[in-house]
Structure 1
């Protein structure tokens, strides 16, 4: 029960941030605004893009719009690589935040029973959750932090994070490079491909 409450609390914090400041940020980081912001960074636009995507852990940054802007600036391939790197960085930051809470403190926070249940859950099915969450709003931050909190094996977390981040990064970079708005099927695609990638990755890890 405490694990569920922890996850809900994290999601509520992220959602609250969006409700408070999301509107202003969305105006600043429309596709045109994001492109202009990246172009002002000059040769460091790639680093600025990664930084923005990593900041999504704390700030209401529209990640898919930033990924599309990276595609517009760098093209589908380089932009996709940078976008995926930003998503991976954001996931690692969330995992790190969870790990910063020591195991003793995590057990007190969740209770021994829920800590062990969460640890087992993320050791077995956490890969699916991490991979599929990268395409969704709000959920990725909560999933990454919880994975770190319950000590999901780092190698398993990293592989599943890559499986989720690569398709999302390349898809939205391609959309930006083509100068299009995200089509309705983009979300379905960015959920299906991570699932397909995680199947062989899971077998290799085993």
Structure 2
């Protein structure tokens, strides 16, 4: 049974399993390089879960399609390549361009970009490394790293360090559990959904806070001119 056939049998044909099936099918065609391509795609398209792809690479290695070390090596290379592509997008935008865009958008300002850049200069290294363990965030963190032009060698090293840990854990899951790896994937789907809900809640909170702040500013602006007009009469 091929890797693709095992995936289809385990997942039951949902849209996500179909997408994963199409991507990890590369492993049946080009071996461990296909696993690297799949993980690079996961970086660029976060809804494609590495929690499903990596165990499949471990399963393929267990079946003898390629060596375990090849699975770990090429998935880590794929993680770094995908992250570098997003890093390049961040470099292209740059701080000045993002600041100009922010000034044209509602609820944000150029000062928000400045504060984010300052935060990233202080904590960017930890954010890049630890971000590799958080669904969705592990992709998005590459963009601000490029915006602030973190040294590319440092970014690549931190990304590789975090990725090799994450990738190895899930590849070993597939290696040891065999075709039963999808049991773990179900729990990881729950974790990923919790992260998505948390991000959505944070966005809603941000919007609510900014709308209230803008209302207070407009109210203060309306009161100030009235006070200025009354001041001469008091004299």
Normalised to the residue count of structure 2, the TM-score between the two structures is 0.58
Partner of 1:156: 154
Q: CA RMSD in A?
A: 2.7
Unaligned runs of 5+ in 1: 1-22, 188-206
Cα deviation, 1:38-81, whole Å, max 9, x if unaligned, reads: 3431xx22222222212221363221221122222234322111
2:9 equivalent in structure 1: none
Structure 1 residues 59 and 131: CA distance shift in structure 2, 3 A = closer
1:125 partner SS: helix
Q: Against the structure 1 CA distance between its residues 118 and 130, is the aligned structure 2 distance closer, same or farther, given a 3 Å change threshold?
A: same
Tell me the distance in 2 between the aligned counterparts of 1:116 and 1:152.
15
Aligned partner (choices 66, 70, 74) of residue 82 of structure 1:
74
- Deviation, 1:164, is 0.9
Per-residue CA deviation, residues 149-188 of structure 1 (Å, 9 max, x unaligned), is 2333323322221221010111111111221523879x9x
In structure 1, the residue matched to 2:26 is 38
Aligned length: 159
Please list every run of 5 or more consecutive structure 2 residues that lacks an aligned counterpart in the other structure.
1-13, 61-65, 103-108, 192-235
> Which one has more relative contact order, counting CA pairs under 8 Å at least 6 apart?
1
Report SS of the residue matched to 2:48: coil
Alignment-derived partner of residue 48 in structure 2: 61
Alpha-carbon offset, residue 112 of structure 1: 4.5
Is residue 134 of structure 1 aligned with residue 126 of structure 2? no
In structure 2, the residue matched to 1:3 is: none
Distance verdict in 2 for CA 1:39–1:106, change over 3 Å: closer
Answer whether contact 2:36 2:78 (CA < 8 A) is retained: yes
